[in-house]
Amino acid sequence: MREPPVVARDGSLFDPNKEQERVRIRKTLHRIDEVSFEVSGVDAPFLNALRRVLLAEVPTMAIEYVTVNENSTVMNDEFLAHRLGLVPVLADPRRFEFRRESDEPSAQNTICFRLRVPPVNRKAHPEWNLSDGAVFAGDDAVPSIPVYSDDIIWEQLQTRVGESCLSSTEGASPHRSSSDAQQQAEATDGLASAADSTAAVEPVQVQRGILLTKMLRGQRLDIRMEAVKGLGHDHAKWSPVATAYYKMVPRVHLKGELKGELAETIRGACAVHVFDIEESAGTLKVEDESRCTLCGECVRILEDKPQLLDSERPDNYSKFMQPMETDLRKVYENDFVSVCQQTDRFVFFIESVGQYRADVLFGEALAIFHSKCTKILEALQNE
């Protein structure tokens, strides 16, 4: 195996061991669907590359093919199909393969769903138990019945006949002729081994609680769907994150001991309560600079105040006027407050749509980014 190429950085050789020692990560929020952490020792372009990978290159499963067998609701087929495509499919995409246009659907590249309203099992849905003739009650308005993503059920894929997926729990459609039913039975018998191989496939669910449409009694929906694996740069429905962003950690300096009306003015100007006042000394202090949103109100509120003269500056003012550190970028400043950004310290936030845990998402993005870097290095070695 060839030695990796030497990469120059800031006039010095790149040492991965030293770079690894510089990186520090501290977890600040950890939930199933969202995570945030503070990372230092990295550059903004690196985090931005990870953010773009999270948005567009981590694969997920999403509904791509929709067959509308019946739709008598007020929402037309195209709008309803678009809404169905945006419903998150809670399946691990690492267990599936990408499906090309020329590929036949299989248990390895396709997940089948069906939406049928009114449902077959009406005992679990008492709102549909009234007959179609009992829709109107006097002059009262007819109540609409919401249709949620909870009504989408998974169907085990066996084969493809016509335009729909066949479920192992359903025979021929009652609307088909006897010859069609016979052809369907022959096709099913011919794929008995395939059915056995997919019998162990676990049922897949979609995100619950999403309103799809509203309908009246007497209206019907019968829709079959196929979910396939895809990437966010093809369509946003395949993006696994609701949001992924980073921000530089702010640093707030107070230039001296500020008291009285001046301290109250600065504290009251901050809507996120970055500042507070010491009870004993009555001086202004920075309570939590991580809350700072860089709005600049603590600086703008004092624009109508006269600038402090040298004789009026606090005795310890000089120690706050030291040269700025190289990793700080000044954003707002006056004679009282200085607000900066730390260019090598960031807070990264990830909110998952539901296909992955939020912490797993970051690992997947790192793996994809590492794979891209490896391909570039191999290409350079082959030159």
- In the chain, the domains with their CATH numbers are 8-56+346-381 (3.30.1360.10), 60-239 (2.170.120.12), 245-345 (3.30.70.20)
For residues 84 and 91, give the distance between their C-alpha atoms in angstroms, rounded to a whole number.
16
Cα–Cα distance for residue pair 111/157, rounded to 1 Å: 7
pLDDT value of position 122? 53
First to last CA, the chain: 15
**What three-state secondary structure class fits 123?**
helix
Neighbouring residues of 252: CB distance < 8 A, sequence distance ≥ 6: 274, 286, 289, 292, 298, 337, 338, 339, 340
Model pLDDT, residue 170: 35
Could you tell me the CA-to-CA distances from 358 to 94, 242, 295, 362, 364 in Å, in that order? 16, 10, 29, 7, 10
Q: What is the mean pLDDT of the chain?
A: 78
Nearest to 51 by CA among 337, 346, 340, 263: 346
CB 337 within 8 A of CB 262: no
Cβ 345 vs Cβ 357: under 8 Å: no
Token pair for residue 293? Answer: 């949103």
Query: If you average pLDDT over residues 348-356, what whole number do you get?
Result: 93
pLDDT at 194: 38
Q: Give yes or no for a contact between 150 and 209, defined as CB atoms under 8 angstroms apart.
A: yes
Nearest to 242 by CA among 370, 86, 25: 86
H helical segments located in the chain: 16-22, 44-56, 77-85, 178-190, 192-198, 260-269, 297-300, 358-381
Calculate ∠ Cα 9-10-12, nearest 5°. 65
Who has greater pLDDT, 296 or 235?
Answer: 235
The DSSP output letter for 283 is B
DSSP one-letter code for 272: T
**For position 6, what pLDDT does the model report?**
39
Q: Is the pLDDT of residue 371 over 90?
A: yes
Count, residues in the chain: 383
pLDDT score of 177 more than 80: no
Distance of alpha carbon 273 from alpha carbon 266, whole angstroms: 10
Under the banding of pLDDT at 50, 70 and 90, the label for residue 313 is low
> CA–CA distance from 260 to each of 44, 257, 277 (Å)?
40, 10, 10
CA distance 208 to 217: 22
For residues 363-369, average pLDDT: 94
* Cα dihedral sign, 291-292-297-299: positive
Q: What does pTM read for this prediction?
A: 0.70
Amino acid identity of 233?
H
- The most confident of the ranges 58-72, 167-181, 273-287, 332-346 is 58-72
Q: What is the number of other CB atoms lying within 10 angstroms of the CB of residue 101?
A: 4
Q: Rounded mean pLDDT of 300-321?
A: 56
Report the alpha-carbon angle 101-52-19, nearest 5: 130
236 band by pLDDT with thresholds 50, 70 and 90: very high
